[in-house]
Amino acid sequence: MDGVERLDGGPRSAVVVGAGVVGLSTAWFLQERGVEVTVVDRTGVAAGASWGNAGWIAPGLAIPLNEPAVLRYGLRSLFNPAAPLHIPLTTDPKLWSFLARFAAHCRWSSWTRVAKANIPLNEESIEAYDVLTANGVEAPTVAAPITAAFTSARQAQSLVRELERLAATGQPVEYAQLSTEDLREQVPLASPALAAGVRVDGQRFADPGGFVRALGSAVVARGATIRSFEVADVCADNAGVTVKAEDGNAISADVAVLATGAWLSALAARAGVRIPVRAGRGYSFTVPVRKPVRGPVYLPEARVACTPYQDGLRVAGTMEFRHPDAPLDAARVDAIIASARPLLDGVWWEDRTDVWVGPRPVTPDGRALIGATSAPGVYVAGGHGMWGLAQGPVTGRLLAEQITTGKQPAALREFDPVR
């Protein structure tokens, strides 16, 4: 921020590469600590996974992806192109190497480690949003429970067991089991196929694209510049860092933050980050509905998330391991509709709009990459998987603390990018 004189020896300038929720949150909290910021993104604000995701700010449902059942489900899904988890048959050796490493972490000891690591982020995720919205980010977050709906009480118990396991790690979870009647009241669109539910309380949701755009506007209003170009390289030495564009232009600063989501590895690997990030692509679209929905609805059996959005319903689902820039596959949208249609009534599926695909950044061990790299003055923030929106602001706050003080917060030790 202009006019701020630093007396503590910390960095005075930063380049943040990536204008999604993680990068912009880091920029905002760096500004809060007196650092002048330039943000660079190849396509602009909220162009990646930040725009079209389900919009859940749901620390109570931040269940690690790497549980043993996911491995078994993934193996069964390999030859089913309509499965919610889709791994295309490919000769890409890097993808198969990543999946082999991910499979090695699909055990309860690794799951528990991820769950415990996430607790500090989950505990402060909503508070970090409140800090932003109370200080110039003009976009609301809506407090509402998330209702998971099931075809039977037996199926509902599977989520209850997951929540109990999460609570056993120390993660606060508030939930209530719902009868068929309670479920109908909570979810007016529930079809007769749905018979039981679990209401997870204390959660929020937002229009993710709208929130990130508002965050970008707040960062600019506080003195930052946002520039659009493809970053070709980041060079670092003891004098600072230089972010180089493909056309030869460059920006220099005291530090740089790489927050490029599913594209993170391309630059982070040059800074000594050996843990790869792959795109677990999700799809979404918006549909009109007969009755308004008061809060998010989760359909675990279909692996579909639904969120109130612009007088309709945003429907999101699937996990597709493919190149982040690959074109949208209409068959994935059809698969989401086929799995969700029997579970919801009063949804006009054929009138869908805003059909979108975006890449979630997934790491093989389930833990995000947040902190300093081997290159002096270069930091990374990414790899949050499905929880980037929920954990983005708190990640930015903690990373800004590390950058400006030179001390790694205890909450970030498990996310060390050079682990």
CATH code for the domain in which residue 391 is found: 3.50.50.60
Instruction: Write down the pLDDT at residue 239.
Output: 87
Q: Is residue 3 part of a domain?
A: no
Q: Is residue 1 part of a domain?
A: no
Q: Is residue 8 part of a domain?
A: no
Q: Interior CA angle at 198 toward 193 and 202, to 5°?
A: 140
pTM: 0.93
Q: Is residue 197 part of a domain?
A: yes
Answer for the pair 392, 118: CB distance below 8 angstroms, yes or no: no
Residue 205: name the closest of 315, 307, 311 by CA.
307
Distance CA 330, CA 191 (A): 25
Instruction: Write down the pLDDT at residue 6.
Output: 41
Instruction: Write down the pLDDT at residue 5.
Output: 40
Instruction: Write down the pLDDT at residue 247.
Output: 87
Q: Is residue 7 part of a domain?
A: no
Answer for the pair 118, 178: CB distance below 8 angstroms, yes or no: no
Q: Residues 41-76: pLDDT tens digits? A: 998 897 777 888 999 999 999 999 998 887 666 656
For residue 379, give its domain range.
13-415
Instruction: Write down the pLDDT at residue 26.
Output: 98
Q: Is residue 379 part of a domain?
A: yes
CB atoms within 10 A of CB 75: 12
Instruction: Write down the pLDDT at residue 75.
Output: 59
Q: Mean pLDDT of residues grouped by 10 in the chain (419 residues)?
A: 49 97 98 98 83 93 88 61 69 87 94 97 97 97 98 96 96 95 96 98 96 97 95 92 92 97 96 96 96 94 95 94 92 95 97 95 97 97 96 98 97 97
Number of domains in the chain: 1
